[in-house]
Chain A
Amino acid sequence: MPAKRKTFGTKRQEMAHKADRLSKMKLCHFTKQEVERLLQLFKEFTKAITEEVKRGKEGIHRSAFRDILHRHFDMTDDVLMDKVFKAFDADNDGYISDEEWVIGMSVFLKGTLEEQSRFCFGVYALRGEDSYIHREEMFMLLKDCLVQHQQEEDAEEMQKDLVEITLKKLDMDHDGRLSIEDYHKAIKQEVLMMESLGPCLPNARCRDSFLEIIADDKNKQKC
């Protein structure tokens, strides 16, 4: 296969070309250098999974992605990490391709308010961004939020109440379910509600350190 026999130089060129293309996309908030660095990281993450590469499905597997989220972004909730994976995996093939990786990271790290709220909604919504989030789904997402006390019999009551409160805050058109429009509106009113159904974005510290990893490399290249 000719692609496999590419020299280092051409490989680099190809990557640069790809980076150039990606960085010009509307959704991408990275500079070209940052994209290159991201792609390099992507390579590192996927290096181990040679089998998949052979089969032509290049990308980050679910568990590897979980690992990344855990290592770099301090995320611990397995359920949510899976959901974040799904949100990254735009074509739903179980792998995150290099393009999905860069675009996902762009929203994840540098997205605008609307992009991020769309992303969060996508994470929470079972059936994708175009569907609705219903009470029951919210309950599932929020049921572990309150520390359970054995002696408190009304634990479930409290959970349900919490869902009601959240719904009241988010459901702007009062139809008892959340649409993406509801979510956008609510976030515009109150930024703090961004991750209202569970943490799915990096916190400031992790975000900055990861951005530094990307930027750092750029500086090194400059030197």
Chain B
Amino acid sequence: MGQALQRAAQWTSAKGGSGGKLEFTKLNEDLLNQVMNWVEGFGAKYPEESKLIFKSALTWKTSLRPENLTGGYQEKGEDMVSTQTSSKDNTPMLTLKKVASNDYSVSVMSLEFCENVLRMAGNQKLMEVRGCLEANRDPGAKMLGDRFATVEGDDNSIYRFIEEITKEIEQSAKQEGQEGQSDVEEKKLQLKLQLQINRLDQQLLQQSIQQITSEVRLTPATVDGEVNILQQLSGYDEDKNCLESCEYWGDGYVFQNGCRAQPWRQLHGDICYIQVKPHDTDVVYVTANTSGYYCNSGVDNSKPGELDYTKQGDSYRELVTLLKDKSPKFAEMIDKQEFALRAKEKDDALMIQKEAKRDGDDDEYSRERTQDHKVHKETTKDKDMKQKKTQKKKKLEPSLKWKALGMEEYKETDKEKKVVKKKQVPSRMKTRTPVDAEESFSESSSESEEEEEAVERRSETNADLPSEYWQIQKLVKYLKGGNQTATIIALCSMRDFNLAQETCQLAIRDVGGLEVLINLLDTDEIKCKIGSLKILKEISRNIQIRRAIADLGGLQTMVKILRDQDKDLKCLAAETIANVAKFRRARRTVRQHGGIKKLVGLLDCAPLTGQMTPELERDVQVARCGALALWSCSKSKKNKEAMRKAGAIPLLARLLKSTHEDMLIPVVGTLQECASEPSYRLAIRTEGMIEDLVKNLKSADPELQMHCASAIFKCAEEKETRDLVRQYGGLDPLVALLQQSDNKELLAAATGAIWKCAISTENVQRFQDLKAIDLLVGLLHDQPEEVLVNVVGALGELAKETPNRQQIRKAGGISPLVNLLTGTNQALLVNVTKAVGQCAEEQDNMVIIDRLDGVRLLWSLLKNQNPDVQASAAWAICPCIENAKDAGEMVRSFVGGLELIVSLLKSEHKEVLASVCAAIANIAKDEENLAVITDHGVVPMLARLTNTTDDKLRRHLAEAIARCCNWGNNRVAFGREGAVAPLVRYLKSSDENVHRSTARALFQLSKHPENCITMHEAGVVQPLMKMVGSEDEDLQEAAAGCIGNIRRLALANEKARYS
């Protein structure tokens, strides 16, 4: 508390004297309030400490009167004393002494009584605290003795005290003396209290620091600084300068304290007046007051040389903030940060001239400056005569020194400018990043595989640099400092280095060669451009170089070059773009600068067939390079869109007719990349590209085959495409590709294509003829996951046909498939579960699956995080239960299995719900199991789902409800849970399957009369009547049964009424 009182509290000027008063400021008030709260709450929190007797009483002048004292006080002469006395010397704990006729002073001996005083003082308690603290500048010392007096600097009394106490405790432990014991106890209390006081002290200090920091006042020096910077930034160019002018208003005289305002205005705290002219508004007159900047009312016309000093608007901490509010243009410029510094171009030579020219100005300037120094000193409140003398001395010094001073000042301001400039850069980048981030989210997700995060490898110490580094550095020097001839020699020479080597690539970057190479692209010299691009093309294979090229704005220039006349140049630019645009930001840059359109334009070349002249061949080369670049660019979704809009599809279709592999690879690569978009898939089909893709499947080039297969893989999502692939005879080469077991990429693409093509039953037929199953089963071993996913997917599709299921078993495919159920790859698991499910449709297969414990594996996949896997596993479980022997027993053997599957009814995914309903319908066939799931609360969970509109879910849900009715009073429970009325609505669905299962469920439910009533009310009879006439016997029977039940109830009702 002492520290806070000394440092933070604001004492009146009579500081140092004993009679110091606390100023009436907000800061002090907060301080007092906190002390008061502390004292008031102290007794409740620390009863023992509060009873501790002070070493000496705290005494102060009080506003308390004897009549205020209530309870436990007695008169003693003129004074009032408390009945309670201190145990040591019997002094009363509280004494109210009459000092003068109407003046009392109070002395208290413990915090408890301090609290009492405050309580008795009522409204005056803040005054009491104030009085107490004013009279006792260091209450801690009084309370606990002088050893705890607040001292400047290190205060370690408390540590000494702790030591003392521990020592005494040790001693007393030896002596077992009673006397020592109580002493120690007291000391412990003292210590505790001291610690409490320290804590309060700290809190107080912290609070006051917070307040003090928020109340920084202006000084002439800060005002000068701010005005100076603004002056440097102002000028008449609207695009470069943020202000037109910024001047001091007034006669320019600067007072000794650094203020420019007239002395009588200085009394109000005014420092100076500033006249600012922004570009867009009228002149603003600003008062710089110690409390902040604010606008005044401007020039007073009635009194020349005077301002109307009335404050207008708010105060601001900084001049810039004020101007930002006043002038939108200024705010914009400051935000844009693209203004020029007026004094930037002044270099050293000029400076001397200016120095001479501005002699007079500088004199004054330096004078101002010296005064600024003084202001600083003044703020430290050292108002000595000595200071004034030195000031006078300075003034008498010859002007030479002033000049020197001026120089110094000049440099200083220069530095300031630099600082300002440096600051601009990061803030500008900051404003850009959110835009970047926003944009990047819009890119397609297919690019997750790419090298977004390149590891930055800096060259180590110079000693380790290879000799190439120095040679390249030399060549770059020639590039920079040579004419065209030297440039070309250097470029050609640079190409002799092994540019595929990373050391050379990074060396070019590290010596600043990239900048030069990219700059060369902006010149008129075709040869330089070609030479530069040839190098860039090579080195842009490096990830870091790509990024650097993009950062240096190389892509923009290259996109421009795409429009050049020279074909070689176009080729090189497109090839380099193809290399650079391997990462997302680069692709975006290409698009944003219209690169996609130009690249698509490159594709438009003369017909590829017929006689080839060298000129035509070069056109074809241009088209090839364009396709290469587009291939890279087509990894971004937006680029695909842009390409489509630019009309790339028909051009690609034409190029696809080419017979050259080096042309076909980029074209097919682009197509397969784009085929992820439905619009492209449609176009690929309608433009007749499937035929060409199939044709190229038979190519000798594995890369081309791979891209073709991959394109078919993506396009075959559509039925028409699948048919086209078959019609063009594409299935045979696809199956043939399965033998390419060492090229994994090709294998993955081919199996993928087979998978998708097998969705059509006609294709399955063909695959059967081609004996694809044996080949595919052979691929279930030792393949990477990408291949396995597709192989298993294909088997799953093929297994929809009964003979194929048998074929899979014969080929020994069941066992590896079941083994794959233990994997972790989500996509693979989805496909494996599907395939196993399909296989399980066959009794013989099921025997194998059961033996391999496949059902348990499937069941455990229900616990998978991925809802797709969950759903797929649940679907696969259905046929397993249907076809396994002793299915009920098997299901029961899975510990917690039934509970798990019931709990999946809480899932949010429709597919999971539908599949689980189907599984439950199968499980419920077994009575015991039905009993268990009923116990797990399956009925209310199913009932809750009945409001769905999804037909697939409705169908299986109704099925599950129908089966679950067969236990106990489940029918009643369904009725109670309100499942009946929604089921009736299912009958309006357009799906026949829904009708069937719903009718079955209603039939089951109608066995309970209450449900019949609900159904009837929901209008079930009419749709059921219609369904009685259905072709489907199942449906017919169920509907009729249901109506029968309703009718029977009605009859019984009538009977009851009449009997």
Contacts and interface: CB of A to CB of B under 8 A. Distances in A.
28 contacts: A142-B489, A145-B482, A145-B486, A145-B489, A146-B481, A146-B483, A146-B486, A149-B481, A158-B477, A162-B478, A162-B489, A165-B489, A165-B490, A166-B489, A168-B493, A169-B492, A169-B493, A190-B492, A192-B491, A192-B492, A192-B530, A195-B485, A196-B485, A196-B488, A197-B485, A199-B484, A203-B525, A204-B566
A194 B493 CA distance: 14
A146 B482 contact: yes
Interface string A86-120: 00000000000000000000000000000000000
A198 interface: yes
A223 interface: no
B565 to A, nearest CB: 8
A193 interface: yes
Contacts of B495: 190
A217 interface: no
Contacts of B490: 165
Contacts of A166: 489
Nearest to A190: B492
Contact of A192 (B483, B488, B565): B488
Nearest to B566: A204
A146 B478 contact: yes
Contacts of B477: 158
Interface of A: 142, 144-147, 149, 158, 161-162, 165-166, 168-169, 190, 192-193, 195-199, 203-205
Nearest to A186: B492
A197 B489 CA distance: 9
A161 B478 CA distance: 10
Interface in B462-490: 474-475, 477-478, 481-486, 488-490
B531 interface: yes
Given A169-B493, A192-B492, A192-B530, A158 B478 contact: yes
Given A146-B481, A147-B482, A190-B492, 18 more contacts: A145-B482, A145-B483, A146-B483, A146-B486, A147-B483, A162-B486, A165-B490, A165-B493, A169-B493, A169-B496, A190-B495, A192-B491, A192-B530, A193-B488, A197-B485, A199-B484, A199-B485, A203-B525
B465 to A, nearest CB: 19
Contact of A203 (B483, B496, B526): B526
A70 B496 CA distance: 34
Contacts of B493: 165, 168-169
B481 A147 contact: yes
Contact of A198 (B485, B531, B565): B485
B527 interface: yes
A142 B486 contact: yes
A169 B481 contact: no
A204 B482 contact: no
A46 to B, nearest CB: 32
Contacts of B474: 161
A196 B489 CA distance: 6
Q: Is the interface of B mostly helix, strand, loop or mixed?
A: helix
Nearest to B491: A192
A193 B493 CA distance: 10
A198 B527 CA distance: 13
Interface string B483-520: 11110111111011000000000000000000000000
A145 B103 CA distance: 102
Contacts of A169: 489, 492-493, 496
Contacts of B524: 205
A145 B477 CA distance: 12
Most A CB atoms within 10 A — which of B489, B493, B526?
A: B489
B494 to A, nearest CB: 10
Contacts of B484: 199
A147 B482 CA distance: 6
Closest 4 CB pairs of A and B: A145-B486, A147-B481, A165-B493, A146-B482
Contacts of B488: 192-193, 195-196
B527 A145 contact: no
Contacts of A147: 481-483
Contacts of B491: 192
A146 B487 CA distance: 9
Contacts of B482: 145-147, 162
Most A CB atoms within 10 A — which of B484, B492, B495, B524?
A: B492
Nearest to B565: A204
Contacts of B531: 192
B566 A193 contact: no
A193 B492 contact: yes
A192 B493 CA distance: 11
Nearest to A149: B481
A131 to B, nearest CB: 21
Contacts of A199: 484-485
A190 B488 CA distance: 11
Contacts of B525: 203
A195 B531 CA distance: 13
B303 to A, nearest CB: 62
Contacts of B527: 192, 195
Contacts of B483: 144-147
A204 B569 CA distance: 13
A164 B503 CA distance: 24
A190 B527 CA distance: 11
A205 B566 CA distance: 11
Contacts of B492: 169, 190, 192-193, 196
